[in-house]
Every structure is written in structure tokens, then in C-alpha cells.
Amino acid sequence: MEGIFHPGVAAWACSGTPSDCIKLALEAILEGPPDFLLSGINQGSNLGTDVLYSGTVSAAMEGVIAEVTSIALSLTSFTKPEFQVAADYGLTLVQQLMAQPLPEPMLLNVNIPALPMSQITGVKTTRQGLRRYHDIFEKRLDPVAKVITGWQGKC
């Protein structure tokens, strides 16, 4: 990607999913495995079964499959695009993991509140929870294509 980055920076582009990007990097671009894989920072939490639909978490899962400790970073807001605190926390977490490595590669799904750092009072480690959706679907017939379409209502 000439002209976008400093000449000393090597950069690639991939038109696939986040997982595709990670697979490409791990299997074809990088000369060896990275120390860590960071995915994100995306807007909106990745909680419960949401992780099954998350490109951010799926990309981190590709790293774990390749035996690389991977961190999916999410900002817990859709309305406050203030990513600096989440980026700073991601850097702090990597520095902590470098000083005290995990016993084995694993995926860390990290949800950072959209608050100033001074208002974040700590970190809580939890297990992945479950979330049951009660979707409402309405069956419709598309008059032009003459096929059934579905519309998802609120959860």
C-alpha cells in the first residue's frame, strides 16, 4: 500500500473478513508467529452469545487456533467513539502479559467502558456468559422477487 504509510512500514490489505485477514497474516505474510494478536477495537460490547457473531472475536479465535494469545478489544458504546482509553488499556494489557505470560495461549475478550481512564475503577475477570435472544420475525413476501423475506424485530 504505497503512499499511505511511512516507507519503512510494510502494510497489506485484505478484502475478506477479519478472520481471513488473520489467516492471511499468520499463514502467508508473517515470517513467524507474533507474540500477541490484537483484534479490534470495535464499537459495542461482545458479551454472551454475541461473540458467535463478532468478527473481532472470530479474528482473535484464529490467533488462538494458531496458538497465539489473542485479545479481542471492544469499546462498550455505539454512541461515544472515544477509542483512546481502549487503545491505552490494550497497550497496558499487552505490557502486563509480556511481564507475566499466561500459562498457555488463550483468547481474552476485553470490553472497555467508554469512560475517561480516571473513571475506570478496576478490571473484572469473568467467564463468558450466555445471552438468550427472543427474536421476533415477521414473514413477508417480496412482491418483486416473489420470495419470502424475514424481518427481525427487537430482541
Terminal CA-CA length for the chain: 41
The pLDDT score that the predictor gives to residue 148 is: 64
Show the CA angle centred on residue 55, arms to residues 49 and 59, nearest 5°: 110
Confidence of residue 154 (pLDDT cuts 50, 70, 90): very low
pLDDT per position as a tens digit, 23-76: 999 999 999 999 999 999 999 999 988 898 899 999 999 999 999 999 999 999
**DSSP character at residue 29:** I
Q: Under a CB-based contact definition with an 8 Å cutoff, are residues 85 and 120 in contact?
A: yes
The pLDDT score that the predictor gives to residue 75 is: 96
- Nearest to 78, CA basis, from 50, 44, 34: 44
Domain ranges of the chain: 18-152
**Whole-number Å distance between alpha carbons of 112 and 71:** 12
Share of the chain above pLDDT 70, in %: 86
- Residue-wise DSSP of 111-141: EE-SS-GGG-----------------EEEEE
102 pLDDT more than 60: yes
Q: What is the dotted CATH code of the domain comprising 18-152?
A: 3.40.1210.10
- Nearest to 60, CA basis, from 104, 31, 21, 14: 21
Confidence of residue 155 (pLDDT cuts 50, 70, 90): very low
